[in-house]
Amino acid sequence: MSVNAKQTVEIFDPPMCCSTGICGPTVDQSLIDVGEMVLLLKARGISVERYQLNTRPQAFMANPAVLALVRERQLSALPITTVNGRIIKTGSYATAAEVEAALGT
């Protein structure tokens, strides 16, 4: 990818009680890690979007590959992480190292 091209990361989240999922009596460490990764990527100028199935279903419908996975595997496909339009991980959150590798940084 050219240096000037805008890099994008999209995270298709399962339904959660709030925008980050970091609420309630027990907190999932992977959600904290994803939140931190999002902040770091945005600080570097990388476009990052998160979509929850229960609040932004149109984003799922607009991505044929994501929609096909959700139809095939239902909620077990989620979360789905894409980098520059390519799915890099399904069924669990991508780590910062996995996203960095996919970004080529």
Provide the residue-wise pLDDT of the chain in tens; the chain has 105 residues.
Answer: 444 468 999 999 998 766 555 565 566 788 889 999 999 999 999 999 999 998 999 999 999 999 999 999 999 999 999 999 999 999 999 999 999 999 997
Amino acid making up residue 35: G
Task: Report pLDDT for 41.
Answer: 97
Task: Report pLDDT for 3.
Answer: 47
Is residue 84 classed as helix, strand or coil in its secondary structure? coil
Contact 37, 102 (CB under 8 A): no
Report the run of H or E that residue 66 belongs to, with start and end. helix 64-73
The CATH fold assigned to 27-103 is: Glutaredoxin (3.40.30)
